[in-house]
Amino acid sequence: KMSEVSAVMTKADIKPKSICHAKKWSDEVENLYRFQQAGYRDEAEYKHVKQVDTVECWPETGFVKKLQRKDNTFYYYNKQRECKDKDVHKVKVYVY
């Protein structure tokens, strides 16, 4: 049983090769912004920490709809873009 757990851990613990900051807004940057607001690096870290297979998204836009923070409070997001132009450069894009 221990080996199963460690195999799952190593898959999710893959460290990014590099980090860069977003230059312009995109759907990907929007979702990264939402994960990072909730305290996660990206979707992979969220799924690993919360042990979920899927993230609730808006069907119309594909943007993340709801995230649970590490302290178990929830963040709810709008269908529309929330990451303003002035915040785009704060979003970290991880390269694996």
- Structural domain contains residue 91: no
What pTM was estimated for this model as a whole?
0.85
The total domain count for the chain is: 1
Range of the domain at 46: 21-80
- Beta strand pairing status for 66-68 and 74-76? antiparallel
48-60 pLDDT per residue, tens: 999 999 999 999 9
Residue 96 has pLDDT above 90, yes or no: no
- Structural domain contains residue 5: no
CA distances from 29 to 33, 56, 71, 83, 91 (A): 6, 17, 24, 8, 7
Mean pLDDT taken over the chain: 89
